[in-house]
Amino acid sequence: MKYIIDKDKLFLEVTNENIESIINSTKRIIKKCDKNNLELVINYNDKNINESKINDLKMIQTAINIKDKEKRYNYIYDTVCNILDKRINEENYCEFENDVCIRFRKENPNHKNGCCEWKGRGKCKYLIKSECTMKSCMACKLFTCSFLYKTKKIRQKVDDYVLLKYFFNRNQKYILECSFWTPKEIVMKRLINNSMKPKE
């Protein structure tokens, strides 16, 4: 990966041939920019670059240029939650009908609210009248049950999303993936408390 540093900026020239390599080098770019307080500037020199990759790189650039750690984490959290919400709304993979998801319509039609209510764990306290009143739990948005994988091959992991893959360490990823039924402000505190630098 080639770059130019001029004063307080790190410049990257992006083409269709090198964009994948640049995204894969995100942790190195984070380290370089954070250590030297550099603003990341990206120039796109190719009209044929994959739009999805451009969007990924733009999100990475925005996150790197937020130097306050808590504000950076807030941006990442909110951005990924919006992506997850969009996917859920567009694909409707849980296929809820009368508060019963596709899995339980086949296994137990009397079970309502899908994974928001679970045997042995009870019902999420933020679920009121079959509607989520929190709307900011990333773990819940990331979760896909085994039924969805078996029948639709749908499975989500933190590393599927570049902002989570490259900006958080293993402990933080575990927090994001497993903090079910938990408000954002609590998750944010856990992320800050476990914010050792991600390994290269």
Single-letter residue type at 89: N
Q: Is residue 10 part of a domain?
A: yes
Q: What is the mean pLDDT of each run of 10 residues along the chain (200 residues)?
A: 93 96 97 97 92 97 97 98 96 95 95 88 90 92 95 96 98 96 96 76
Q: Is residue 30 part of a domain?
A: yes
Rounded CA-CA distance 189/33 in Å is 24
Give me the DSSP letters along 152-197.
H-----GGGSHHHHHHS-HHHHHHHHH-TT--HHHHHHHHHHT-PP
pLDDT of residue 197: 59
Q: Is residue 191 part of a domain?
A: no
Q: Which of 160, 153, 140, 164 has the alpha carbon at shortest distance from 91?
A: 153
How many domains, in total, are found in the chain?
1
Domain range holding 43?
1-67
Q: Is residue 151 part of a domain?
A: no
